[in-house]
Amino acid sequence: MALTLASAAQLLQQHHLLHEIVRADRWTLDAGEFEGSDTPFSSVTYDTRKVEDGTLLFCKGAFRPEYLDGIDARGLSAYVSETEFHERTAAPGLIVSDVRKAMSLLSAEFYGRPQEKLTVVGITGTKGKTTTAYFTHAVLSALSGGKAALFSSVDNCVDGRTYVESDLTTPESLDAFRMMGEAVNHGMRYLVMEVSSQAYKVNRVYGLTFDVGVFLNISPDHISPIEHPTFEDYLWCKRQIVDNCCTLVLGADADHADLIRQQAQRDRRSIVTFALHDEAKLTTPADVVASPADPAHTQYRIEADGVDFGLFSLAIDGDFNYANAAAALAIVHALGLDASPEALHAMEHVKIAGRMERFEDPSTNTVAIVDYAHNGISMTALLDYVNERFGTRHPNITVITGSAGNKAYDRRKEIVEAAQHRIGRFIFTEEDTNTEPTEDICKQMAGYVTDPQVEYDIILDRAQAVENAVTAAKSHPERLDVILAIGKGNERWIKRLNRHTPYEGDDAIFARLLG
């Protein structure tokens, strides 16, 4: 059914969001009082620059009234806002208590409720969302003949073949429903998407119920005045996926797993659990288990409900990625699908640019790893991997790191504390510092270094920081040097002053210097 002023007002009233409809000096709850109330909107947008004849505009975020100046001449049909602007436009305004909730509901309606034509998997957690999404997407694509779409922090894919770089971990609701509609038009049957804590914090997935919701793990992250004020708020936002799914896949060893189970049981959600098991560690029983098949951890065995699915050797390094593989199989089981060995082994071919990418120069005994690790838990996991693979060779480890500006201030100390007793040198450098001075962030992180055995340098230019680490490593060919460049992955930009400025990329620099 087409979205009109009348149907939009009705939907908003059903969800107790509509205050009134305002036009000039007329305030009413009856959209039928306005001419053309049953005329379908031609487009929806939250960008005034895209307004054309018949557009419904959402005035969200830091919206300024002057953005509406002259907009009637371009054919604005109506707007949705928490503030009325009758002095700026003659178009009727749907005044609501929460414009983001309204945008999610109305966008879904405008694009024909595409989520109901897809089987949707939503994945949240502090670490592993992207890798689990790619693994799950690979298996579902194999099972469905390429009929699986993907929304991730790296790429979006709506046709099963074409990958487009994404801007957000979870798209704005309007963009998400538009892309879901495109996926339906391309014949997709499944959608796998990452769901960030911010997606719930700012209602990007409001009204969306996942066929399977996935809670991988949780640790403090994104704690700042502009993200989550406390860890409790962060966890609470993550936990909303439990209330908004039909079946929950849960990391059995996740912190606060007992609380999440209580919530799922209260909501009458069925639960499928997964875990990474190692004989050397006590672990929680789980429905799906990945465990090392050899002392070097080069292969893992994955079992589900006691059924052995065989040995797996992933193209992405890191034991923690086998936990993500176990999560992917748990998702397939939660969907009620029978996974063939061929479909499951599709995970072995998955590579994600900028995640656990390894570069080696045997002639100088240098190994470099590029990864998106950006907090304490991911730093620890990365160093655990280095220890497992190279520990017997006693490598000299250099960590190249910065931290995002204006947010997630806790990460700065976490990264240093997780690494400083396990490495030889820090190089503090630029990440996406935005409006916060790079030097201030680097000095703050350097101030957390308390181990006198650890060297540190501040090199503000990130490319120079990478080049410096490689030069230092090559000057000691008698030892194994491992360089870890974290936080940027394969991104070809650095965010400065709210703008993306070109950057060669950590991976590209290592490829140039090490081959």
The CATH number of the domain where 27 resides is what? 3.40.1390.10
Same domain, 390 and 468: yes
390-400 as b/e: b if 16+ CB within 10 A: eeeeebbbbbb
Give backbone dihedrals phi and psi of 119, rounded to 5 degrees, phi first. -90, 115
Same domain, 183 and 128: yes
Q: Which of 317, 349, 381 is the last residue of a domain?
A: 349
Same domain, 258 and 384: no
Give backbone dihedrals phi and psi of 489, rounded to 5 degrees, phi first. 60, -130
* Paired tokens of 76: 């604005």
* Paired tokens of 248: 């929950």
Same domain, 340 and 377: no
Same domain, 185 and 84: no
Same domain, 150 and 282: yes
CATH number reported for the structural domain that contains residue 335 in this entry:
3.40.1190.10
C-alpha to C-alpha distance for 463 and 64, rounded to whole angstroms? 38
What's the total number of domains in the chain? 3
Same domain, 249 and 381: no
Helix (H, G, I), strand (E, B) or coil at 376: helix
pLDDT on residue 202: 93
Q: Which of 90, 110, 130 is the last residue of a domain?
A: 110
List the pLDDT tens digit at each of the 515 positions of the chain.
799 999 999 999 999 999 999 998 899 999 999 999 999 999 999 999 999 999 999 999 989 999 999 999 999 999 999 999 999 999 999 999 999 999 999 999 999 999 999 999 999 999 999 999 999 999 999 999 999 999 999 899 999 999 998 877 899 999 999 999 999 999 999 999 999 999 999 999 999 999 999 999 998 777 777 788 899 999 999 999 999 999 999 999 999 999 999 999 999 999 999 999 876 565 788 999 999 998 888 899 999 988 899 999 999 988 889 999 999 999 999 999 988 888 999 999 999 888 899 999 999 999 999 999 989 989 999 999 999 889 999 999 999 999 989 888 889 999 999 999 999 999 999 999 889 999 999 999 999 999 999 999 999 999 999 999 999 999 999 999 999 999 999 899 999 988 899 999 999 999 999 97
Inter-residue contact 207 to 118 (CB < 8 Å): no
Inter-residue contact 418 to 480 (CB < 8 Å): no
Same domain, 20 and 165: no
Same domain, 274 and 340: yes
C-alpha to C-alpha distance for 117 and 20, rounded to whole angstroms? 32
Q: What's this model's pTM, rounded to 2 decimal places?
A: 0.90
Same domain, 199 and 307: yes
CATH number reported for the structural domain that contains residue 428 in this entry:
3.90.190.20
Same domain, 327 and 371: no
Give backbone dihedrals phi and psi of 227, rounded to 5 degrees, phi first. -120, -95
pLDDT on residue 280: 58
Angle ∠(5,8,10) on CA atoms, nearest 5? 110
Same domain, 177 and 40: no
Q: Which of 91, 110, 129 is the last residue of a domain?
A: 110
C-alpha to C-alpha distance for 112 and 117, rounded to whole angstroms? 9
pLDDT on residue 282: 57
**What is the residue range of 9's domain?**
5-110
pLDDT on residue 279: 66
Outline where DSSP puts E strands in 390-454.
396-401, 425-428
Which residues on neighbouring strands pair with residue 401, listed in sequence order? 428
